[in-house]
């Protein structure tokens, strides 16, 4: 006769884990079931709330970082880049007037735009969006802006000499842009020439360096707006743990009702109250993540569509509706989008979920320990085991 095939025997640790996570209450002795629940429920509670709390807090921290650091930094970089190009046009037009500029100056818009660019760079240096290397790059940009203004002032000093004036303007323009399609113009309403940005070792001008910082921030925004592997893994672990915890807690309450005649365990029900926060926290986290993703297109608008023509048009016609590609409206929409991805004050509980879970685990452990101890005392007096 052929020997019957032997089924593989599962390892002992797998049997213990299965018994702890999914015990068969109908075939388990009371004291064994209570002992297993004393281990499993507090452990599942701690794991579920710790992993979910970390993932939720990470998403909320990303939203705060995007709103308070990345969005203002992107707006300041775009404003500095566009302001300097507007200032260049103002200097070209003013200096073309010849010696009249010695009395009238370069105009209020030139002073306002160069001052705005310097303030933008200074604000970025004080902010927390950049690390030490990027702040050093900002210092270089600030020095280049000072040098740019010195060459414009030199051109104004030599305004009577056409060759020197054009040389000063050309050198200032070369400090500003790597590639331009046209030379200086005498009309303020003329279209602004393209200002291409070089990369790598050729990225030496102000616009090149600002564009590099903008690319870095856009990449960082995309990274913050995506769910990383750590968050996804924590969410998966918490989902499994919450499912096992909910089912296990319900089965334990049924067990206590049937075997120990406890109609409702008030401490266990109280320990389960933090579970009511989980659906709201999940919805809030999903909305926050979606809001972060919705800010990415605005960052590309600031980099690719914002232009001196748009900003000058808004400045000259403040009562008209601003363009979708305008810097300040686009920045405001980015901030509004991030703020909109919230369920009121639900996000305030992000840092409290893990402590609440640990407290609930402690209550569950203490309650089940008390039930088991009481049962063992009764069992020694002749009760069923």
Task: Report the pLDDT value the prediction gives residue 165, as an integer from 0 to 100.
Answer: 86
Task: Report the pLDDT value the prediction gives residue 19, as an integer from 0 to 100.
Answer: 55
What is the model's pTM? 0.83
Q: What are the C-alpha distances in Å from 334 to residues 76, 225, 285, 322, 330?
A: 13, 13, 18, 15, 6
Q: Tell me: the pLDDT tens digits for 119-134?
A: 999 999 998 889 899 9
- Residue 275 pairs in a beta bridge with none
Cα–Cα distance for residue pair 357/248, rounded to 1 Å:
16
Quick one: tokens of 281?
């926290």
Q: Are the C-beta atoms of residues 173 and 88 closer than 8 Å to each other?
A: yes
- From the list 219, 215, 210, the residue with the least C-alpha distance to 121 is 210
Task: Report the pLDDT value the prediction gives residue 5, as an integer from 0 to 100.
Answer: 54
Task: Report the pLDDT value the prediction gives residue 38, as an integer from 0 to 100.
Answer: 84
65, part of any domain: yes
348, part of any domain: yes
385, part of any domain: no
Q: Are the C-beta atoms of residues 291 and 337 closer than 8 Å to each other?
A: yes
Cα–Cα distance for residue pair 343/42, rounded to 1 Å:
29
Task: Report the pLDDT value the prediction gives residue 309, as an integer from 0 to 100.
Answer: 87
Task: Report the pLDDT value the prediction gives residue 385, as an integer from 0 to 100.
Answer: 47
What is the domain count for the chain? 1
List Cβ neighbours of 321 (8 Å cut-off, separation of 6 or more).
none
Task: Report the pLDDT value the prediction gives residue 341, as an integer from 0 to 100.
Answer: 81
Cα–Cα distance for residue pair 245/21, rounded to 1 Å:
9
365, part of any domain: yes
Q: State the DSSP string of 263-308.
A: S--HHHHHHTGGGGHHHHHHHHHHHHHHHHHHHHHHHHHHHHT--H
Neighbours of 170 (CB within 10 A): 15
The 10 Å CB-count burial string (b at 16+, else e) for 93-114 is: bbbbeeeebeeeebbebbeebb
CA 37 from centroid of its chain's CA atoms: 39
Q: Are the C-beta atoms of residues 90 and 114 closer than 8 Å to each other?
A: no
Task: Report the pLDDT value the prediction gives residue 383, as an integer from 0 to 100.
Answer: 47
Task: Report the pLDDT value the prediction gives residue 13, as an integer from 0 to 100.
Answer: 42
Backbone angles phi, psi at 47, to 5 degrees: -65, -45
**Residues lower than pLDDT 50 in the chain:** 1, 13-14, 380-385
Task: Report the pLDDT value the prediction gives residue 183, as an integer from 0 to 100.
Answer: 63
Task: Report the pLDDT value the prediction gives residue 384, as an integer from 0 to 100.
Answer: 45
- From the list 11, 87, 52, 31, the residue with the least C-alpha distance to 241 is 52
Q: Identify the domain containing residue 341 by its residue range.
A: 29-376
22, part of any domain: no
Backbone angles phi, psi at 196, to 5 degrees: -70, 150
Cα–Cα distance for residue pair 182/88, rounded to 1 Å:
13
352, part of any domain: yes
Neighbours of 385 (CB within 10 A): 11
Q: What are the C-alpha distances in Å from 353 to residues 57, 61, 139, 280, 301?
A: 9, 14, 42, 12, 37
Cα–Cα distance for residue pair 253/41, rounded to 1 Å:
12
List Cβ neighbours of 60 (8 Å cut-off, separation of 6 or more).
285, 288, 347, 350
Task: Report the pLDDT value the prediction gives residue 147, as an integer from 0 to 100.
Answer: 92
């Amino acid at each position: 006769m052929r020997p019957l095939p032997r089924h593989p025997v599962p390892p002992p640790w797998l049997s213990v884990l299965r018994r702890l996570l999914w015990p068969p209450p109908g075939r388990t002795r009371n004291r064994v079931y209570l002992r297993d629940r004393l281990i499993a429920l507090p452990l599942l509670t701690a794991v579920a709330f710790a992993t979910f709390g970390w993932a939720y807090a990470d998403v909320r921290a990303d939203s705060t970082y995007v709103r308070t650091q990345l969005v203002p930094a992107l707006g300041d970089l775009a404003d500095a880049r566009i302001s300097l190009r507007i200032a260049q046009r103002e200097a070209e037009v003013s200096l073309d007037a010849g010696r009249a500029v010695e009395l009238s100056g370069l105009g209020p818009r030139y002073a306002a735009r160069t001052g705005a660019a310097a303030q933008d760079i200074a604000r970025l240096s004080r902010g927390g969006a950049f690390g030490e290397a990027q702040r050093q790059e900002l210092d270089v940009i600030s020095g280049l802006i000072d040098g740019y203004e010195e060459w414009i002032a030199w051109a104004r000093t030599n305004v009577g000499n056409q060759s020197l004036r054009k040389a000063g303007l050309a050198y200032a323009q070369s400090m500003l842009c790597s590639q331009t399609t046209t030379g200086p113009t005498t009309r303020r309403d003329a279209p602004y020439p393209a200002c291409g940005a070089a990369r790598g070792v050729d990225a030496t001008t102000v616009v090149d360096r600002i564009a590099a910082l903008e690319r870095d921030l856009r990449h960082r925004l995309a990274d913050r707006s995506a769910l990383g592997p750590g968050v996804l893994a924590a969410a998966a672990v918490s989902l499994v743990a919450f499912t096992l915890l909910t089912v296990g807690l319900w089965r334990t309450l049924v067990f206590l009702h049937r075997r120990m005649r406890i109609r409702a365990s008030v401490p266990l029900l109280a320990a389960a109250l933090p579970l009511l926060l989980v659906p709201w926290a999940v919805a809030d986290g999903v909305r926050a993540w979606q809001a972060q993703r919705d800010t990415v297109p605005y960052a590309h608008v600031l980099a690719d569509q914002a232009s001196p023509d748009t900003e000058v048009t808004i400045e000259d016609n403040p009562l008209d509706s601003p363009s979708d590609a305008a810097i300040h409206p686009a920045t405001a929409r980015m901030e509004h989008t991030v703020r909109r991805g919230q369920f009121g004050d639900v996000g305030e509980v992000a840092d409290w979920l893990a402590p609440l879970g640990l407290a609930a685990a402690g209550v569950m452990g203490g309650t089940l320990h008390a039930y088991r101890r009481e049962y063992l005392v009764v069992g020694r007096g002749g009760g069923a085991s």
